Structure 1
Amino acid sequence: MSGFFKLLKGGNKSSFLAAIVNTIIAIVKGVAFFFTGNVAMFAEMMHSIGDAANQYFVFFGSALSKKAPTPRFPNGFGRLINLVCLGAVIIVGILSYETIKEGWHHIQHPAASTGVAISLAVLGFSILLELFVLYKAGKEILHEVGVKGGFLAPLSTSFIHLKRAKPATKLVFMEDLVATTGGVLAFVAVLISYFTGFLQAEGIASVLIGLMMFYVVGKVFLDNARGALGETDEQMLVHIAHIVSENKDVKDIKVLEVIKEGEFLHVDLVAEIDPTLTFAQVDDIHDVLKELILNQQSVTDVTIAFDEDDGIRKWTHHKDPHTALKTHD
């Protein structure tokens, strides 16, 4: 049991924080919907329930993915986080459908809701909490990719680096981005409905929120499906090829693979070297390259082999300056 709690400490902090916040928000929105009957509030409640469930799943999945390899699973559990995220989006997909269905029903049969002040207060409170979680997730993205920025960077620069974020952090950021936007939509819809009498506004907001949730489902599903299959990290591949080629003993790169294993990277390298080198010299080269590659961000496993140099330089992929990364010391 102590080992399990130790694993939980390594879980994604952003997803755990988001899960707690969305649980609170879902309860508050549920109470508000019970007293007001506001359809936009219903959509937001469903959204928050889906986000909270997702983020609890992701937190436990990210923690368990760090479990050490076993004789039965010698390659480790890195891709478990991708499988968990794939399962989590099913929940969001179901809630998205219910949200759109309820919104469409309200468009066809509009009905005035009560307790406008309660609805606006709850939505305003929820928007602030979601924005806080979004900010923390954006900050975590910048930390994961090794980028520093100013106070507003988590809400601006983080979008540029979203693709390189860990699966769990990316999911939290995208879900809370949609949640914050959905909260604003619901807030505006309540105002329009109250001041103009256009009651369908709440139903339209509900449908739009559901569609945004479906977008997250599709995006997260595709990202994690690639991760579960074993996707190449192209940018890191170019970077590692560059630093390996700078070693004076490496004449050429015969094979180089950088595969994403959940939040981590696995590297397979076959380098061509001088065939006249002694075993001791080759062993020293192996140790230097292994230490160098393991020092790169997110790399946790390296397999290195050597072949004799054939005198023909074939590997040129590392020469692209636009995809090279800075070396992580």
Structure 2
Amino acid sequence: MADAANPLRSILYALAANLSIAIAKLVAALVTHSGSMMAEAIHSFADTGNQLLLLLGLKTAKRPPSPEHPLGYGKTIYFWSFIVAIMLFSMGGLYSLYEGWHKLVDPHPLNSPWIAIAVLVFAIIAEGLSLRGCIKEVNKERYGRSFWRWFRETRSSALLVIFGEDLAALLGLVLALFFVAMTMITGNPVWDAYGSISIGVLLVLIAFFIGIEVKSLIIGQGVEPRIKQEMVVFLESQPGVDKVFNLLSLQLGADVMVAAKLRMAPQTDADAMVAQLNEVEAAFRAAFPQVIWRFFEPDLND
């Protein structure tokens, strides 16, 4: 069996990359007066804060169930992931749009543009390594699906957010490099303003798509379709189960709750039926250890 995806590893990759990049971008932005660079610096600092929030979310999601929260705190990570999407939208996207508009109204020539070019090249390499590490974790749970389909179906909000952030950061850096280079070539600072606006639009769009997916998790989603099908097939393969009438699931962070209505094989008495149902539940628990809560109902009809 392949190793499970590890969101924590991807978060740490992104945190190290974004913190170093943010400092380098800020210094370059202050020296060059580049709007694209300042937009990218704010974006990277926002991403650094986002990774800290995701770490907090992963930690609090591990708290054990309590009388007030009998299903645990696993969905806490969804809340913090949604906050990250809002920060990416506001501190990243909207600020970049504002910075671009400001540069259009009051353009300034770039100082020492080669500093900006050098920082952007360094940042592209660092973000590329971070995205590569994230993709390595994503591939552990893609199972041949396209990245877009995985993005729509995954229940790992932390990994989804890091993937979206890393992708936005890398694309934003490429845009910044292009527009700074165009500013150098043409001598027209308006190109730099266009770069900031383009980065802002990119961040707003990616934050919007992340927000949609995380919102669905907050409202309540079942397990991925692939996993649900595996559960149904497994139950129907058990000797004591004739048919699975219905199976409902709820994703609770890393944990899962499952309720199933089953037609059991005929038994001699009620005690034998209960014993058979317990055997099925034990086998199901061993096959799907992420399912912490299981409710199996024997019935004759759906």
Q: Could you say whether these structures have the same fold, taking a TM-score greater than 0.5 normalized by the shorter chain as the test?
A: yes
Choose which of 121, 128, 131 in structure 1 pairs with 2:128: 131
TM-score, scaled to structure 2: 0.88
| Residue 292 of structure 2 is aligned to residue 301 of structure 1 | yes
Unaligned runs of 5+ in 2: 1-5
Aligned to 1:268: 259
Q: CA deviation at 1:296?
A: 4.9
Residues 198 and 103 (structure 1), Cα distance of their counterparts in 2 relative to 1, 3 Å cut: same
Shift of 1:160: 5.1
* Structure 1 outlier segments of 4+, above 4 Å: 156-160, 295-298
What secondary structure, in the 3-state scheme, does the structure 2 residue paired with 1:113 have?
Answer: coil
Find the counterpart in structure 1 of residue 16 from structure 2. Answer: 20
1:104 to 98, 101, 104: 101
1:227 is displaced (CA, Å) by 0.9
Partner of 1:161: 150
1:167-192 C-alpha deviation (Å, 9 max, x unpaired): 10110011010100110110111111
1:286 aligns with 2:277: yes
Match of residue 115 from structure 1: 112
Asked if 1:243 is matched to 2:234, the reply is yes
Cα shift readout 1:117-172 (whole Å, capped 9, x = no counterpart): 110110110111111110111111122x1759xxxxxxx96555333261101100
Contact 2:57 2:77 in 1 (8 A): yes
Compare 129-138 and 298-307 and name the one that shifted more: 298-307
Question: d(CA) in 1 for partners of 2:287 and 2:183?
Answer: 54
Q: Distance in 2 between matches of 1:254 and 1:215?
A: 41
1:100 deviates by: 0.3
Q: Which amino acid aligns with 1:182?
A: G
Cα distance in 1 between the residues matched to 2:277 and 2:142? 27
Alignment-derived partner of residue 219 in structure 1:
209
| Distance in 2, Cα, partners of 1:265 & 1:308 | 23
In structure 2, what is the equivalent of residue 195 of structure 1? 185
8 Å contact kept, 2:31–2:112: yes
Of all paired residues, the percent bearing the same amino acid is: 22
| 2:248 maps to which of 249, 253, 257 | 257
Aligned-partner SS, 2:241? coil
What amino acid does structure 2 have at the position aligned with 1:265? V
Which fold has the larger relative contact order, with Cα–Cα distance below 8 Å and residues 6 or more apart in sequence? Answer: 2
Question: CA 1:68–1:38 in structure 2 vs 1: closer, same or farther (change >3 Å)?
Answer: same
Moved more, 162-171 or 77-86: 162-171
Q: 1:29 aligns with which of 18, 21, 25?
A: 25
Distance 2:142 2:215 in 1: 25
**For structure 1, which segment, 192-201 or 294-303, has the greater mean C-alpha deviation from structure 2 after superposition?**
294-303
Per the TM alignment, residue 80 of structure 1 is displaced from its structure 2 partner at its CA by: 0.4
Are the equivalent residues in 2 in contact too, given 1:254–1:270 (CA < 8 A)? yes
- RMSD of Structure 2 on Structure 1 (CA): 2.3
CA distance in 1, matches of 2:166, 2:289: 25
SS at match of 2:72: coil
On the 8 A contact 1:274/1:308 being kept in 2, the answer is no
**Are 2:19 and 2:48, in contact at CA under 8 Å, matched by a contact in 1?**
yes
Return 5+ residue gaps in structure 1 as ranges: 1-9, 149-155, 315-329
- Contact map agreement 1:82 1:228 (CA 8 A) in 2: yes
Aligned residue pair count: 294
1:239-266 superposed Cα distances (whole Å, 9 cap, x missing partner): 2112212223212223311211123322
Corresponding residue to 2:40 among 40, 44, 48:
44
Report SS of the residue matched to 1:161: helix
| Higher mean C-alpha deviation, range 120-129 or range 234-243 | 234-243
